[in-house]
Amino acid sequence: MIEIRVHGRGGQGAVTSTELMALAAINEGKYAQAFPSFGPERRGAPVMAFVRIADGPIRTREKVYQPDVVVVLDPTILKIVDVTAGLKRNGMVILNTSKDEEEVRKTFGIKAKMALVDATSIAMKQLGRPITNTTMLGALIKASGVIDIKSMETPLKKRFGRIAEKNLNAMREAYEQAQ
């Protein structure tokens, strides 16, 4: 089983991205669950969402305390939340940033494996808005290999309808650019 924790801010699509990832995994014949963790926060407040993907039934229902992968939709979260808390020993952080690896490690002290992508720039180019959830899905898929990128097409089309193609393009571009 792979457990993923997504950090973002209210309105950035953290919850949506975990739901889409779970649907894609289920379409591949895997088992998955996705759920948020937030209270009465307002738009812009820090939120977390979780997804588990496994080849067999998932019996646990608690939030993810020891993720294999952490996805950070908004780099400003790093200043207020320890996104690496509980990260498994060989875990990975997938970060939306325009900074290079050395600068991220120096500034935020992240010691884990990392995948970096400037998801905000890609989202602005492809979507015209700084909403990075589908963009970061591309980086997550490339870095983790947890599902096939083609499996995201149906969930994205169902969720976003006429703007699905823009989201698919953002996801694909992030997949290509993730380092």
**CATH number (domain holding residue 106):** 3.40.920.10
Quick one: which H or E segment has residue 92? Answer: strand 92-96
Q: How many domains does the chain divide into?
A: 1
**Mean pLDDT taken over the chain:** 94
Q: What percent of the chain has pLDDT over 70?
A: 97
Mean pLDDT in residue range 1-15: 93
Residue 144, classed as helix, strand or coil, is helix
User: Which residue range(s) make up the domain with 99?
Assistant: 2-177
Write the DSSP assignment of 120-134 as a string of letters: HHHHHHHHSS---HH
What pLDDT is attached to residue 46?
87
For the stretch 25-49, pLDDT in tens is 999 999 999 999 866 656 778 899 9
What pLDDT is attached to residue 41?
59
Residue 145 has pLDDT above 80, yes or no: yes
Mean pLDDT in residue range 65-93: 95
98 contacts: CB under 8 Å, gap ≥ 6: 118, 120, 121
What pLDDT is attached to residue 26?
98
Evaluate whether 155 touches 20 at the Cβ level (below 8 Å). yes
